[in-house]
Amino acid sequence: MPTITDSITKSEKKTKNKDHKRKLQDQQDPDLVEQQSPKKDKKKKKKDKEQVSVNGSEDLSEKKKKKKQKKEEEIKKEQEVKNNGDGGVDEVRETDDNVVVSGKDISDVKYKALKSFAESKLSDELLECCKNFSKPSPIQSNSWPFLLHGRDFIGIAKTGSGKTLAFGIPAMNHILNKRKNTANKKVTPLCLVLSPTRELAQQIYDVLSDAGKPSGVRSVCVYGGTSKGPQISALKSGVDIVIGTPGRLKDLIEMGVCQLQEVSFVVLDEADRMLDMGFEPEVRSILSKTSSVRQVVMFSATWPLAVNQLSQEFMDPNPVKVVVGSEDLAANHDVMQIVEVLEDRARDERLVTLLEKYHKSRRNRVLVFVLYKKEASRVENMLQRRGWKVVSISGDKQQKARTEALQLFKDGTSPLLIATDVAARGLDIPDVEVVINYSFPLTTEDYVHRIGRTGRAGKKGVAHTFFMKENKALSGELINVLREAGQNVPTNLLNFGTHVKKKESKLYGAHFKEISADAPKATKITFDSDNED
């Protein structure tokens, strides 16, 4: 431990060193002293340059402009060289059905959008699940040519657009080709599909399980909230596709029962939602366990910074990006949006009044969204006391209860469902006529996804929303969504203001803006001052 004496000694040494330096400087030649003081030299040069500028030799700001312009030209040239070395510059192709395709080397004839399922030249077994459709959906016709030729892929499309088969059929084709070319008869997973919620994972499993039966492709669905036993047994028996939520999947990997080292086709569905829910560490950990030679597919409703960084880290440098409709936040035009500004205490009575209007027959499907788990239970109990047949799903409930409630809603046994945002994204619930937002969600993106549960497959729907003063920070964004869709904007909503708050990033705060998937990667810029040491 240092003593007072030690401190005094150190102080005396510093003083002596300073005195010694001054003494040397007084004795030395001035030129020699300048050589030993580079910082002073820099300051002197800078001062001299400024003096020259003041004297009219050359305007300093003009020199800065020229220097900046020169640096920008150098960066541009470097990017051009890089693009040419990576297989050409980015191309953009817009189709008649409002689809924008972008990426490198996309004009090749093999990447032409499909007009029929037969053009894919896939086997009858694989196309068996498509026999009830007249032609591929826009996302399918534009994604299959790239996915069937092994390209990494980014898809941005609204839910209900057929994206499960958009990645599911190419995944199965990939598996069948791999199995055919290997002598290894042990069935270990070759495809992985990550989903943010249990319900969406189960829905993907249902679609791919049925689609894979004719060709013998086997799938398993793993998620939390239920016993691991059946999931472990299915994995041990041998499967081709693992579909699951990040938390449970990571647990099974750590237990050593889920081996992903041979997985060479990876799908991240609702990637933005997955990261919003805080699954980024699990997603990164899981992806690192898959084969280093893999094809990566991402489907995302929006393209925030975190998702863009994930794509740059785990995807090929030149992925293809397909946007169906608009990449901007936009609501389904087949949904009539009605927004009411209400006080909190008025919501229960207003909800009952709307149910008497929209759910008079008690046979049509009505979906009521709330914000929190406890709120779901309270609203469910309130409606049951008033004689309504209702079920609910929320994170509080066991998975078995959630699955049963969803099934009762789907088959029409209990066509009134209360749900938190676990049901907002990705779920394909047929014939939902009305969505009621009892509580406004935390983001306008979630609002768009909620009301997207109705007005699907070309049908019309109604979305009735309660908006309170506590939600006023989102009034500007909601007004924009309503106007973009040609909907009525109530006057008392306008009173909250039309200001749109800048999107925030957990990393960079409110100055964050969305990044294009094909944006050039950052180039390090070095200035002259960096080399002046």
Q: pLDDT tens digits, residue range 346-403?
A: 999 999 999 999 999 999 999 999 999 899 999 999 999 999 999 998 877 787 888 8
Mean pLDDT of 425-444: 86
Residue 284 lies in a domain: yes
Least confident of 151-160, 212-221, 444-453, 524-533: 524-533
- Position 394 in a domain: yes
Q: Are residues 320 and 377 in the same domain?
A: no
Q: Which of 196, 197, 179 is nearest to 239 (CA)?
A: 179
Q: Are 258 and 401 in a shared domain?
A: no
Quote the pLDDT of residue 311. 86
Average pLDDT over residues 493-502: 81
Neighbours of 230 (CB within 10 A): 11
What pLDDT was estimated at residue 75?
52
Instruction: Report which of 458, 163, 495, 505 is spatially closest to residue 334, judged by C-alpha positions.
Output: 458
> Does a structural domain hold residue 29?
no
Q: Supply the pLDDT for residue 127.
A: 94
Say whether pTM exceeds 0.85: no
Amino acid 88: pLDDT: 52
Residues 214, 275: one domain? yes
Q: pLDDT tier at 84 (50, 70, 90 boundaries)?
A: very low
Q: Is residue 406 domain-resident?
A: yes
Q: How confident is the model at residue 119 (pLDDT cuts 50, 70, 90)?
A: very high
Is the pLDDT assigned to residue 521 strictly greater than 70?
Answer: no
The whole-number average pLDDT for the span 204-218 is 94
Q: Are residues 220 and 309 in the same domain?
A: yes
pLDDT band, residue 445 (cuts 50/70/90) = confident
> Are residues 251 and 126 part of one domain?
yes
Rounded to an integer, what distance in angstroms lies between the CA atom of residue 145 and that of residue 153? 11
Query: Would you state the pLDDT for residue 324?
Result: 82
Buried b (16+ CB within 10 A) or exposed e, 107-141: eeeebebbeebeebebeebbbebbeeeeebbbbbb
Residues of the chain with pLDDT > 90, as a percent, come to: 48
pLDDT at 453: 85
Average pLDDT score over residue span 161-178: 92
The answer on 238 and 218 residing in a single domain is yes
Q: Is residue 44 part of a domain?
A: no
Q: What is the CATH number of the domain that holds 353?
A: 3.40.50.300
CA-to-CA separations, 250 to 90, 239, 343, in angstroms, rounded: 36, 17, 43
Higher pLDDT residue, 58 or 331?
A: 331
CA distance 224 to 171: 24
Same domain, yes or no, for 379 and 254?
A: no
Separation of CA 531 from chain center: 40
| Domain span at 484 | 335-494
Over the chain, what is the mean pLDDT?
A: 80
Place of tokens 């676990």: 422
pLDDT over threshold 90, residue 183: no
Mean pLDDT of 23-29: 43
For residue 274, give the nearest of 254, 302, 236, 239 by alpha carbon.
302
The total domain count for the chain is 2
Label residue 195 exposed, middle or buried (CB < 10 Å: 0-12, 13-18, 19+). buried
Question: How high is the pLDDT of residue 25?
Answer: 47
Looking at residues 97-101, what average pLDDT do you find? 82
